[in-house]
Amino acid sequence: MDELFKKAALDIKQSKNIVGLTGAGISVESGIPPFRGKGGVWEKFDPMEYATIDAFMSNPSKVWKVLLSAMKDMIEKAKPNDGHNGLFELEKIGKLKTIITQNVDGLHQMAGNTDVIEFHGNFVSYTCLKCKNKITYNEIKLDTVPPRCKCSGIYRPDCIFFGEMIPPEALWRSKEVSSKCDLMIVIGTSAVVQPASFMPIIAKNSGAKIIEINPERTPLSGKISDYIITGGAGEVMRKILKEL
């Protein structure tokens, strides 16, 4: 295992253009549960009932009361962990250029990374469905649910519900940076949700090395990724950085 930390450090040293692809697992050590698996968000809340755009539009009050207020609460308390901080270290030394994240928690930006593509939007800003006014999470008051704008319109988070399109610019830029990087570090994603999970394939086909960091194997492991370092994001990033 120690060999893999050294190997990853060497791959990082030899790279000039690293892209990080992250999923819910990188924020687990910050107290935000993943979506799938034991203790995951989708074990508690049925995504068909709470996470589709149709579910939200047909009963915003129910979706706000159950899923969105719980997510907002978890995200508000969360701080970046050594996984996020490690990616910022890689940006500071000029190696990592961009992070593509499926997460909606804003923790990469809080850690300091400056080029973060939010593939599934975010939970940090909210838009009024009626007048399109935008506010940030600290302005959302949940004393009445659903939260409403001065114009009486309902606020929605700027995240993607199932059934909505990936923001075109996020998709376009993700494809672009994936095809140009020389190393992709894939951290904490089950790699089962398309099209995000297609980005390592684009990177691989364009000649990049792929390192996975995850306690579990994924559909990428042994096929698309060159190797997987099994373990939590924070612990693994700390050990890799020590070898740099």
Shortest separation between residue 63's beta carbon and ligand OAD, angstroms: 13
Shortest separation between residue 180's beta carbon and ligand OAD, angstroms: 23
Question: SS in 3 state form for 104-120?
Answer: CCCHHHHHCCCCEEECC
The residue with its CB nearest to ligand OAD is 25
Cβ nearer to ligand OAD, comparing 147 with 188: 188
Shortest separation between residue 128's beta carbon and ligand OAD, angstroms: 21
Count of CA atoms in the C-beta half-sphere (13 A) of 215 = 11
Shortest separation between residue 2's beta carbon and ligand OAD, angstroms: 19
Cβ nearer to ligand OAD, comparing 144 with 194: 194
Q: 123, 102 in Cβ contact below 8 A? A: no
The yes-or-no answer on residue 108 being catalytic is: no
Q: Where along the sequence are the contacts to ligand OAD (CB under 6 A)?
A: 23-26, 28-29, 34-36, 40, 102, 120, 160, 162, 187-190, 193, 214-216, 218, 232-233
- Residue 68 is classified by DSSP as I
Residue 127, CA distances (Å) to 60, 111, 123, 131 in order: 13, 25, 11, 8
Cβ nearer to ligand OAD, comparing 48 with 131: 48
Sorted by sequence, the CB contacts under 8 Å of residue 73 that are 6+ apart come out as none
Sign, CA dihedral 103-104-105-108, equals positive
Cβ nearer to ligand OAD, comparing 159 with 183: 159
**Residues 95, 108, 120, 209: which is the catalytic one?**
120
Catalytic positions, please? Answer: 120
